[in-house]
Amino acid sequence: MAQSDVYDDAKELAGDLAIPAEAAVRLRFAGDREGPVSYGGRDGRAYRGSAAPLHRVILVHPDDVDLLLRSGDWLVSAPKPARGRGR
């Protein structure tokens, strides 16, 4: 499974954060851990990250971005290009 296939339904993932998909921030795990590690956000939100494809890229609530970036294990990732939009 390609990494981008895991995140095709951004609206569903952002729904877990109780925010519109456009407001979620995409982060990429930059650490070297192979097994998933839990990271805590504000208001009880939790995120899992690892170098494995399943946990490498996550959508994050905007209020939690600074917390995750300060860990040194995450980088802001460019948004995935929109699919299915022709000229």
Q: What is the mean pLDDT of each run of 10 residues along the chain (87 residues)?
A: 46 66 90 91 92 92 95 86 58
Structure tokens that stand for 41 in this block: 């956000």
Whole-number pLDDT of residue 85: 55
Whole-number pLDDT of residue 1: 41
Whole-number pLDDT of residue 80: 60
pTM: 0.72
d(CA 10, CA 21): 6
The span from the first CA to the last CA of the chain, in angstroms, equals: 28
As a dihedral over the C-alpha atoms of residue 18, residue 21, residue 22, residue 25, rounded to 10 degrees, the angle is: 80
